[in-house]
Amino acid sequence: MTDEQLGAAVAGLQDAAADLRGTLVREITWFEPPDAKNLDPISLAAGFGLVLASSFLAGFEEEARRAAKKLGRQSFRWLRGMVEKYFRTASSQPKKQKSNSEEEEVSHLARDAANTAATLDPETYQQILTATEERLSEELQATTAMPKKRAQDLSRKIRTAAEKHVLAKRRQRK
């Protein structure tokens, strides 16, 4: 695992977040806690794209592990926590930068998922992507009150962005 891989994963995550920004500006209300005050969707959406793309990658990693070791369904167990934490920080200290440890955690997560993707055969890779997308959609519905179709659409967009900018890029470099 090299610094180059880490750098590529971070850049990929940022590109994925940029792809999601337009969508998230419209969808962010679903995630806002009831006591959210005067949050600006534009500044929120940029950071929140990172949260959702990372969440997808974490789910992908867990889904791959589950497929390999036949573990139980645990994907996205941390989605809710990440969302809550993100809005808590945004509400109280909108200008606060992410701490180094948080950034590192997300970068490692993206790199690990990308490395895992690079080891999978095409069929398994697609199966895991689809399973991750479905699981994320279910979790979005449970976490946000988002209607099913809306959650499916958003989940598909998150998958596309994460796949295009992080997973597929790493597979191409394999």
Partner 1 sequence: MMLTPQKLRYDTNALSRSLLTPRFDYADGALAMHAALAGYQTKTGRFVTAMWVRVRNRGNIGYIEIKDEVSGQYRRTLPEGVSPTKVIDIEVDPYLGAANKLLIELTRLISSLAAGRVPNICGTQERIEIQRMPQSFWSELEQQLARVQTAIAQTYNSSIVAARSERLQPRLLEMIKKKDAASVQQEMEDLGRSISELRSLYAADATLVAWATIYRDLCHEISEYCKKSKMSAPEAAATYIRYVAFGATPGGVTDPIGLTLGLLDKTAREGLHEISATIAERYFDEGSDLIEEALGKRSLDDFGEALYKAGPLLFAATRVFKSLIEGNRPTVPESSAATYAKRANVAEEQAVRVNTSLLNMLENRAGVRWNSHQARVGEAQSKGPKAADEEITRIIEQNYFYPRCWERYLRGHTSDLPPLECTDSPQKN
The count of other CB atoms within 10 Å of the CB of residue 131 is 18
Residues 6+ apart with CB under 8 A from 15: 161, 164, 165
> Helix 79-92 to helix 41-69 angle, to the nearest 10 degrees?
160
Least distance CB 10 / partner 1 (angstroms): 17
The answer to whether 5 and 111 are in contact (CB under 8 A) is: yes
Least distance CB 138 / partner 1 (angstroms): 15
- Tell me if residue 55 falls in helix, strand or coil: helix
- Write the DSSP string, 99-146: PHHHHHHHHHHHHHHHHHHHHS-HHHHHHHHHHHHHHHHHHHHHHH--
Which member of 80, 150, 164, 171 binds partner 1 (CB under 8 A)? 150
> What CA–CA distance (Å, rounded) separates 75 from 159?
14
Closest to partner 1 by CB, 81 vs 147, is 147
Least distance CB 169 / partner 1 (angstroms): 22
Closest to partner 1 by CB, 4 vs 35, is 35
Site for partner 1 in 9-68 (CB under 8 A): 21-23, 25-26, 29-30, 37-38, 40-43, 45-46
Task: Say how many residues touch partner 1, by CB under 8 A.
Answer: 20
Least distance CB 41 / partner 1 (angstroms): 6
Least distance CB 73 / partner 1 (angstroms): 22
Footprint on this chain of partner 1 (rule: CB under 8 A): 21-23, 25-26, 29-30, 37-38, 40-43, 45-46, 144-145, 147, 149-150
